[in-house]
Structure 1
Amino acid sequence: MATIVFAVNFSVWTLYSVIGIELKAVLSLSSTELGLLFSAPILTGALLRLPVGIMCERYSPKMLFVIQMLILVPPLYFLPAIESFLGYLAIGLVIGISGVSFTIGIRYLTDWFDSDEQGTAMGVFGAGNAGAALSLIIVPYIRDIWGWDYIGLFYCVMVLIACLCFWLFAPSTPEYLNNKPKQSLAFFIKPFKHAKVWRFGLYYYFVFGSFLALLLWLPQYYVNAYQLSFNQSMGLTLLFVTSSSMARAAGGWFADRFGARNINWGVFWICLICLFFLSYPPTTMTIHGVSKDVVLNIELNVWIFTLLLLIIGLAQGFGRASVYKLINDYYPEQMGSVGGLVAMLGALGGCTLPILFGAAVDLIGVHSACFMILYGVLAVCMLLMHFAIKRERYNARVKHANQHNFLEMD
């Protein structure tokens, strides 16, 4: 039930990724303005994840889920009445509340599973990212049959049905857990002082934030860079989203079996190699030979481009699951607060990266500039992870030496 409801919410959160192509043409938006429009719902969903995560430690996650969905109904209903860029920004900020569904759902699930099952359970729940596929499938269909004006109404009805079903059929938190002594706020925010929590947030900024940014950016990228039709762009983006989301469930199982950190490190290396090739812009090179000039054209065709994207998407799916397995390993009693902070930092990637993508394209003038940005973000993540692992191994050796009297403390 939680996974289905999360999928519905995620489809609302990423709705602008589909209608953005139409809005860019109708409102005559630049790449930077389009990035701002994409970022509007992501910003609200990101910033609210931390306070909502703390609320989940105090109040019923099930009821918070229901309230969150009811808040979405009015803005979706009035979406067809909007005609200006600022109006779409305002509505986007409100429907961004759908983004907190991940934090609520993670906290709702942790009460039902043992530690050795948490990675798999959260991975299956995280597969609700495939809710973005709903938008990629449904919106073109509604547009072709009824027109753009019916999209908001359809989503409004869909959210109401999901809300009612979850309220009626989803189990409530076990009574014995409701009767547990309530911890203070200080207990839940204490881990925020730990550097590893913020490091986890940076990892999630890449594996989730860049996934979200690509989901928003890819439809118009295919249209502008490869001159594909609207439906073709939706289909290829759908392939990326669905495969990455389904991989998250498998990633949770692998993190349970082989260790979350090992999975993360492998994910980063795979993505780094793929991003290197995706970053290279179409290039024409002239080699002056002995008797004639040789002209080389270097460019990724749409199928190689899509294959590299699929590899990145699959790797990111594994990475999203392994990050939350790491959080559960270190902070099992603070999943709401720590998970909310990490989710907030990750979702901020989905907010800031589309703006950076648009600015980079406008400034540099090549479509692949967005992948140059991602390459730089990933390089920083890998450097921090390398030094963190090195420091932890050093501390472990010192601790072992002290315990076995290899070092004497004055």
Structure 2
Amino acid sequence: MRERPSESPDSSDASAPAVQGTPRRGVASATLGFFVGFAGIVCYGPVASEFQDAMGLSGLLVGLLVAAPQLTGSLLRIPFGAWVEDVGAKKPFLVLLGLSIVGMGGLSALLLTAYPDGLTMAHYPIVFFFGALSGCGIATFSVGSTQTSYWYPSEKQGTVLAVFGGLGNTSPGLLTLVLPVALAALGLTGAYLAWFAFLIVGTVAYASSAVDAPYFQFVKRGVGEREARRRAEACGQELFPGGDAMASIRGAARIPRTWILVALFFTSFGGFLALTTWLPSYWQAVYGVDVRTAGALTAVAFTLLAAVIRVPGGIVSDRLGGEPTAIVSFGAIVLATTLLVVTREFAVAVAATILLGAGMGVASAAVFQLVPTYVPDAVGGASGLVGGIGAFGGFAIPPILGLFVDLQGTPGYATGFVVFLVLGVVSIGLSSGLYRTRSALVPANSSAPADD
């Protein structure tokens, strides 16, 4: 990827300060911040059995608990993604990461004072609250994706957004691997104290490296919006805010295709979030593996794979189009979940999980490749709606999976995958509808929106 060098904002004004940073630094700092905050997804998932045993939780309550971080992590994407339209990405990033630090600090303090003997069902609301607060960093996805879109030209959106999303998404997989090991070495309280320290260090590292896109740098220096846009264009910026934060959300919400993208992302990314927290319990209950093996299976066969494969998924989406890439990816999700519903063979289940992770990762990249195409004048608002409401699947789906367990016992861990099978079939239909109507919006062999 060729990097645009920093340059004077106006060649006719030699005294004007140069733009700080480069596109590469912009996406690197956004990826770092997202990596730090996104780890909150697995706040409870890999060690859910510890809290279940201590507090005596039902399947439904376990599902709600492991999904708690994603309540804030999904819904806060909407206002914070749009807030980028007003102030750039750095301030929203730091607010979200700061809230995560408060949540993890509160959880660590609770465990220090109450775990293990004093932690009871009465503490469930507090544990849920601190988990939700710790999940605020997950919302940095919409902030970072908007920041990335403003740094790079339209023809590179799929690739750079996939790099940002793919590398940032690796943190839950790595934490799923590390947390059970830390649990064995440090105990539950020590593991969360180590996580608390990680959040602080990561936030400081982001704060010292982050750079806003050129337009926001000029505005912060007191340059008028029109002149700031002209200077930013001279630096290579192509996409710009379409208005204030609420105007961006309203503008995106008025476009029907925004809601199709929301539904697709609910399946791909919401499903990814849900299974990242749920799969450790599935492996332990259905196949009797220990907590460390369950974490390793989830991380390697699903979470890390789904994260890393977003990068080539974005490249493929740029070259072949987001819609056909999504259709094939959702087809893989349907096939994989069908196998998981009917099989009880360990090797088949692992293979199906790998296919499921690949399908969800590529589909997520394909969906976000389409956001700047279909909503070019309200990228921040669209990123917030698609990333926020779509990611809400990570909170909504685990309690439904827990109901299958409450109703069927251990077999419910497998039959619950029918939820993803149905979502996958619906998503194939929606992606096919976009593909059929794309020619009315975008000229052939072009990834840019048609001129009106």
The correspondence of residues 153-232 of structure 1 with structure 2, limited to 5 A, is 153-174=193-214, 175-176=217-218, 179=223, 180-181=225-226, 183-184=243-244, 185-232=246-293
Residues 380 and 51 of structure 1, relative CA distance in 2, 3 Å threshold: same
**The residue matched to 2:151 in structure 1 has which SS?**
coil
Distance change in 2, residues 1:188/1:31 (3 Å): closer
Q: CA deviation at 1:369?
A: 2.1
Closer/same/farther in 2, CA of residues 10 and 49 from structure 1, 3 Å limit: same
Match of 1:106 among 114, 125, 145: 145
* Residue 333 (structure 2) aligned to one of 271, 276, 284: 271
Q: Match of 2:327, SS?
A: helix
Q: Secondary structure at the match of 2:213?
A: coil
Pair 392,64 (structure 1): closer, same or farther in 2 beyond 3 Å: closer
| Aligned match of 1:79 | 107
Distance across 2 between alignment mates of 1:392 and 1:138: 44
Match for 2:79: what amino acid?
Answer: P
Which residue is 1:307 aligned to? 351
Give the aligned partner of residue 37 of structure 1.
Answer: 65
Q: In 2, Cα distance between the equivalents of 1:169 and 1:191?
A: 30
**Across the two proteins, how many residue pairs are aligned to each other?**
378
**Using the alignment, how far apart are the partners of 2:155 and 2:66 within structure 1?**
37
The corresponding residue for 2:50 is: 22
Percent identical among aligned pairs is 25
TM-score normalized with structure 1 length: 0.87
CA distance in 2, matches of 1:329, 1:64: 24
Cα distance in 1 for residues equivalent to 2:419 and 2:130: 28
Residue 194 of structure 1 aligns with an amino acid whose one-letter code is I
- Structure 1 residue aligned with 2:368: 324
Letter aligned with residue 66 of structure 1 = L
Instruction: Provide the secondary structure at the position in 1 that maps to 2:169.
Output: helix
**Per-residue Cα deviation, 1:168-206 (whole angstroms, up to 9, x for no partner):** 122233234764347244355223122211110010011
Give yes or no for the alignment of 1:117 onto 2:176.
Answer: no
2:388 corresponds in structure 1 to: 344
Q: Deviation of residue 59 (structure 1)? A: 1.2
Match of 2:38 among 2, 6, 10: 10
Match of 1:149 in 2: 189
Structure 1 gaps, min length 5: 281-298, 397-410
Root mean square deviation, CA, Å: 2.0
After superposition, what is the alpha-carbon deviation per residue over 1:70-92, rounded to whole angstroms, capped at 9, x for unaligned?
A: 22222212213153222211111
Q: Structure 2: how far apart are the matches of 1:335 and 1:214?
A: 28
Confirm whether residue 130 of structure 1 aligns to residue 160 of structure 2: no
Report SS of the residue matched to 1:147.
helix
State the 1:43 CA deviation: 0.9
Q: Distance in 2 between matches of 1:309 and 1:381?
A: 19
Structure 2 match to 1:64: 92
Q: CA deviation at 1:387?
A: 4.3
Matched, 1:363 2:407: yes
Q: Distance in 1 between matches of 2:433 and 2:150?
A: 34
- Matches of 1:203 and 1:177 in 2, distance apart? 35
Any gaps of 5 or more consecutive residues in structure 2? 1-28, 112-118, 227-240, 443-452
Amino acid in the other structure paired with 2:64: L
**Shift, 1:267, TM fit:** 0.6
Q: Could you tell me how far apart the structure 1 residues matched to 2:275 and 2:55 are?
A: 22
The one-letter amino acid of 1:221's match is: Y
Residue pair 1:12, 1:155 contacting (<8 A) in 2 also: no
Structure 1 CA distance, aligned partners of 2:134 and 2:405? Answer: 27
**Distance in 1, Cα, partners of 2:439 & 2:284:** 48
CA distance in structure 1 between the aligned counterparts of 2:202 and 2:440, rounded to whole angstroms: 50
Tell me the equivalent position of 1:375. 421
Question: 1 CA distance for matches of 2:438 and 2:304?
Answer: 36
Q: Aligned pair in 2 of structure 1 residues 8, 53: CA closer, same or farther (>3 Å)?
A: same
Counterparts of 1:333 and 1:267, CA distance in 2: 27
Mapped contact 1:251–1:322 kept (Cα < 8 A): yes
**Distance change >3 Å, CA 229–CA 255, structure 1 → 2:** same
Shift of 1:16: 1.2
Counterpart of 1:241 in structure 2 is 303
> In the TM superposition, what is the alpha-carbon distance from 1:133 to its structure 2 partner?
1.9
The answer for the alignment partner of 2:26 in structure 1 is: none
Question: Would the aligned equivalents of 1:189 and 1:338 in 2 still touch at CA under 8 Å?
Answer: no
1:394 and 1:71 map into 2 onto residues whose CA distance is 44
Greater radius of gyration (CA): 1
Determine the C-alpha separation between the residues in 1 that align with 2:54 and 2:369.
43
- Deviation, 1:395, is 9.8
Shift of 1:385: 3.4
Look up the equivalent residue of 1:106 and give its one-letter code.
Answer: S
Partner of 1:54: 82
Higher mean C-alpha deviation, range 381-390 or range 116-125 = 381-390
- Deviation per CA, 1:322-347: give whole Å up to 9, x if none: 10110111223322110110011221
Letter in 2 for 1:271: I
1-side partners of 2:179 and 2:324: how far apart? 39
Q: Which residue identity does 1:67 align to in structure 2?
A: V
